[in-house]
Chains A and B, each alone.
Chain A
Amino acid sequence: DQQVKQNSPSLSVQEGRISILNCDYTNSMFDYFLWYKKYPAEGPTFLISISSIKDKNEDGRFTVFLNKSAKHLSLHIVPSQPGDSAVYFCAASAPGADYKLSFGAGTTVTVRA
């Protein structure tokens, strides 16, 4: 049973506009969340993370928001650029489970010129 869900398999956005990627989780023990970005024929690379003690974390054009009560997090990319076209994976970890990462299925983002 997948504990981390990305219900939108794809997202198309115009260059310069905002991209919003969503992620839901079911395990209330998750206390650390990460986003990874993956280009074709490459391995995933870390993008941004957030601890459960925060509700927002920013890094340049990327902001992650966490709503613990709703078990929901989102990644905002502003402004979107053509180089942002990739697959984005949401991941989460919980203490007491060897801190293994549980990944969502991914969202493919396409930024249109």
Chain B
Amino acid sequence: DAEITQSPRHKITETGRQVTLACHQTWNHNNMFWYRQDLGHGLRLIHYSYGVQDTNKGEVSDGYSVSRSNTEDLPLTLESAASSQTSVYFCASSELAGGTDTQYFGPGTRLTVL
């Protein structure tokens, strides 16, 4: 069965370190998204991609970067981790270019920055 996976599921790091969160989907979807979930804010979009070599900034992109070298993967990099980036991160993918298409979410990565 097609799926979307994230690794690691839990990560503890120190302020200033570079961290990369992996996202891999086997749906063969063109569109991939990264969100963070924080209490009181719901899910906020960090970056998104509508295809290989395409990346776009979301509403909370500062301090994060992504790259899309193939269809299956969209890794999220925190260049220099900050305590404000402690959060739960979700990756999602969808088939069609647009919010009318169902987004399938991964299980999430809980990141703690000390």
Interface string of B44-58 (1 = CB under 8 A from A): 110010100000101
Residues of chain B within 8 A of A99, CB atoms compared: 97-100
Question: Is there contact, CB below 8 Å, between A41 and B105?
Answer: no
Chain B interface size, as a band, is 20 to 34
* A-binding residues in B (CB < 8 A): 4, 33, 35, 40-45, 48, 50, 56, 58, 90, 92, 97-100, 102-108
**Chain B, residue nearest A9 (CB):** B40
Question: Is there contact, CB below 8 Å, between A103 and B99?
Answer: no
Question: Is there contact, CB below 8 Å, between A100 and B90?
Answer: no
Question: Is there contact, CB below 8 Å, between A101 and B99?
Answer: yes
* B-binding residues in A (CB < 8 A): 2, 4, 6, 32, 34, 36, 41-46, 49, 51, 89, 91-94, 98-101, 103-106
Q: How many Å lie between the Cα of A6 and that of B97 in the bound state?
A: 26
11 new A-B pairs (CB below 8 Å) besides A43-B107, A44-B90? A46-B102, A49-B100, A91-B99, A92-B99, A93-B99, A99-B98, A99-B99, A100-B45, A100-B58, A101-B103, A103-B44
